[in-house]
Amino acid sequence: MKEKTVSEAIHFRRSVRVYDPEKSIESKLVKQCIKQASLAPTSSNLQLWEFYHIQSKDLLKDIAKVCYNQPAAKTAQELVIPVVRLDLWPERIQSNLNFIKNSNKGLDKKKIKGALDYYQKIIPKLYKGTQPLNGFLHSLKTSWDGLKKVTYREVKAGDLRVVGHKSCALAAQTFMLSMSALGYDTCPMEGFDSVRLKSILSLPKAAEISMVIGCGIRQKDGVYGERFRVPINDIYFVK
């Protein structure tokens, strides 16, 4: 099978609502696309995400129910669920530190020290802001600092939550384009009962589900209408 180019994959990708039950997809290729998704850009390289690849028929039925049995979930051959894990920041920081210490020998010592300081001092201070009180106190300081100099201001718990979901969404889009390159279809869904779905997946309280992605091969009527986008002049500005 000849893979599509990036441009071809972008144009091929649609939110497919109904999948053909007679056309199967290969789980190992879906896993390959998840692996490619893990190469997506991520804030401070923390990779605060997990991907749940649902293949079990029983689980597919259970998850479809908490997705309101919408066709993109009910007819999907498999599901991929990207999950934001802000609570894993200490472990992810340590993984970066281990990598820097073990894989950058021979590089400029000042650069290595700068990278180590970033992960040992700056990022822990920022992500302690996932605790609302810490984030609020940090925001007071940054507001004061901002009166005198250029300052990073997105330090509250809600700000960091947005950062986590942005990184996870970039990975989800990378996954969907990787699937498109193989001729596989997807549909990202936000319509689900997050409490029940977290229970099905046995996720901890701190985990947040970014979306549920239906996977399969489109049925003839699986795409609901032509693609619509607002004119480029409405969204493109040169300054």
Angle at 209 between CA 6 and CA 222, to 5 degrees: 50
Question: Using CA atoms in the order 21, 24, 28, 33, what is the torsion angle rounded to 10 degrees?
Answer: -70
Q: What would the pLDDT profile of 16-74 be if each residue is shown by its tens digit?
A: 999 999 999 999 999 999 999 999 999 999 999 999 999 999 999 999 999 999 999 99
pLDDT of 6 strictly over 90: yes
Question: What is the structure's pLDDT at 108?
Answer: 81
Give residue 117's pLDDT band: very low, low, confident or very high (50, 70, 90). very high
Q: If residue 51 lies in a helix (H) or strand (E), which one and from where to where? A: strand 49-54
DSSP string, 69-86: T-HHHHS-SEEEEEEE-G
Structural domains of the chain sorted by starting position, each given as residue range(s) with its CATH number in brackets? 6-85+165-234 (3.40.109.10), 89-158 (no CATH)
202's torsion region: left (phi>0), alpha (psi -120 to 50) or beta? left
When the pLDDT of each residue in the chain is averaged and rounded to a whole number, the result is 96
Residue 105 has pLDDT above 80, yes or no: no
State the Cα–Cα distance between residues 71 and 210, nearest whole angstrom: 19
Any idea which residue has 């201070």 for tokens? 125
> How do residues 152-174 score in pLDDT, each as one tens digit?
999 999 999 999 999 999 999 99
Q: How long a stretch of residues is the chain?
A: 239
Region 4-13: mean pLDDT is 97
Report pLDDT for 169.
98
pLDDT tens figures, 176-231: 999 999 999 999 999 999 999 999 999 999 999 999 999 999 999 999 999 999 99
Q: Tell me, what DSSP letter sits at residue 35? A: H
Higher pLDDT, 229 or 103: 229
Q: What pLDDT is recorded for position 104?
A: 72
Q: Output the pTM of the full model.
A: 0.94
Give the model's pLDDT for residue 107. 75
Q: Which helix (H) or strand (E) holds 208?
A: strand 208-209
pLDDT, residue 103, reads 84
